[in-house]
């Protein structure tokens, strides 16, 4: 019994630490946070963020907010909840990839100043998410949860599969914590369950749920692989870029359904 209690305590502490690391949501201080293994809980945090956004969206529906305004407010809340953590990484990554000399890319990405390509990447991401959400009329809460969850699962896969390009950095400790399939497989099953739960309510949703699952897996893996191809590995900035681009592309694919 004590062993089970200890396991639940460690799980709760890990998730709470991940909330503190990945969001600006207020969390009562318990004791010294340990961020060493928070990456493995990132998809759980994504589901939580998506659920909050879905509730916010539902509230605005009851208030009669038009769909375009509602979608824009959801995207703004999306950025605010994360403190712009992943969007900042996507912007720095875009600035780095714009440099012709591969040897200077990491140096440019480490510069805190935002360049033109970083600004364009941010605009593109916000536009893609807003317009895609505007075209999504049904299952918006579920799709938001899936998008945020698959985006962060893609981050875990990038951490697990590809080398980290810096000896030190803001993402180095993630690489040290994610070492085997045991670190990403549980959240894969969780995301499959969340994406497919509506099948149990309506068996006619099998096609929709299947596409959600396959699109989530394919996009999450492909985005991480593309950044690895361009840079030869990953950094903390590209981990954020994987999250942002997976979310945006996933929403765009969902509009086809």
CA 146 to chain centroid, in Å, comes to 10
**3-state SS, one letter per residue, for 18-60:** HHHHHCCCCCCCCCCCCCCCHHHHHHHHHHHHHHHHHHHHHHH
Which of these, 78, 98, 107, lies nearest to 235 by C-alpha position? 107
Q: In the predicted model, is pLDDT for residue 157 greater than 60?
A: yes
Q: How confident is the model at residue 134 (pLDDT cuts 50, 70, 90)?
A: very high
Q: In the predicted model, is pLDDT for residue 255 greater than 60?
A: yes
> Could you state, in order of their start, the residue ranges of all structural domains in the chain?
43-255
Average pLDDT over residues 120-134: 97
Could you report how far apart the first and last alpha carbons of the chain are, in Å?
Answer: 47
Average pLDDT over residues 152-163: 94
Model pLDDT, residue 100: 78
Model pLDDT, residue 112: 76
Q: Tell whether the torsion through CA atoms of 252, 255, 147 and 157 is positive or negative.
A: negative
The H-or-E segment that residue 232 falls in is none
Block residue for tokens 């068996």: 203
Which of these, 107, 109, 78, 84, lies nearest to 94 by C-alpha position? 109
Q: In the predicted model, is pLDDT for residue 1 greater than 50?
A: no
Q: In the predicted model, is pLDDT for residue 30 greater than 80?
A: no
Using one digit for the tens of pLDDT, what is the confidence trace for 170-192?
677 787 788 777 888 999 999 99
């Amino acid at each position: 019994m004590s062993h089970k209690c200890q396991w639940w305590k460690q799980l709760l502490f890990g998730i709470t630490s991940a909330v503190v690391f990945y969001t600006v949501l207020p969390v009562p201080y318990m004791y010294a946070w340990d961020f060493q293994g928070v990456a493995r809980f990132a998809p759980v945090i994504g589901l939580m963020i998506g659920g909050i956004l879905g509730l916010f969206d539902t509230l605005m529906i009851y208030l009669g907010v038009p769909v375009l305004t509602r979608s824009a407010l959801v995207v703004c809340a999306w950025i605010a909840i994360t403190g712009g953590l992943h969007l900042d990484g996507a912007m720095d990554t875009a600035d780095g990839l714009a440099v012709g000399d591969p040897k200077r890319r990491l140096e440019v990405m480490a510069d805190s100043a935002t360049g033109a390509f970083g600004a364009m990447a941010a605009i593109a991401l916000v536009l893609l998410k807003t317009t895609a959400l505007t075209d999504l009329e049904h299952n918006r809460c579920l799709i938001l949860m899936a998008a945020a969850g698959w985006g962060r699962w893609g981050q875990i896969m990038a951490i697990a599969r590809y080398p980290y390009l810096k000896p030190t950095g803001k993402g180095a400790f993630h690489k040290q914590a994610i070492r085997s399939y045991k670190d990403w497989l549980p959240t894969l099953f969780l995301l499959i369950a969340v994406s497919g739960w509506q099948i149990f309510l309506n068996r006619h949703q099998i096609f929709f749920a299947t596409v959600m699952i396959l699109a989530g897996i394919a996009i999450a893996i492909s985005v991480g692989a593309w950044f690895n191809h361009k840079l030869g590995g990953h950094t903390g900035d590209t981990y954020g870029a994987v999250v942002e681009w997976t979310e945006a592309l996933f929403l765009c694919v969902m509009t086809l359904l």
